[in-house]
Amino acid sequence: MLTRISSKKTKMNGARFAIVASRYNARYVDAMLRAAKAELKRAGASEVQVLRVPGAYEIPVVAARLARTQQASLAGIICLGVILRGQTVHADHIGRAVSQALMEVQLTHEVPVIHEVLLLENEEQARVRCLGKKFNRGAEAAQTALAMAKVMAQLPG
């Protein structure tokens, strides 16, 4: 179920975030990226580092390197991509591999990794989830990153 975007009041002044975004299906990913950056800026993030990779499959290795090398200074890593199903099961394999890898990155390094690598049936679903003003998974990803950064900051250690 899609949820309308509502600009939450979460403030993270001074927090640093990274966004790893696929170049593949750029029309949709670029729209999510713009929305995510705008949401983080609105919340007062001090820095948003954007790294572009060729496709969704390449996102986890960059997220892992960021988590390992910048663990202490990153409040969260947002991963953005769009995988459209075709006539084979290839998209399912990519989606499953990316999901598993991103989960492992956040558990290993204890850095919130926000998974918005969307596995969609068709371009209509991509338009609704990525291009609309009412629904944008990029804005939702940024809101989740902000909320998780806040939670993580409250935890000991």
How many Å apart are CA 101 and CA 79, to the nearest integer? 12
CA distance 83 to 53: 14
Instruction: Give yes or no: 90 in active site.
Output: yes
| Catalytic residue, candidates 90, 93, 109, 115 | 90
> Which residues are part of the catalytic machinery?
90
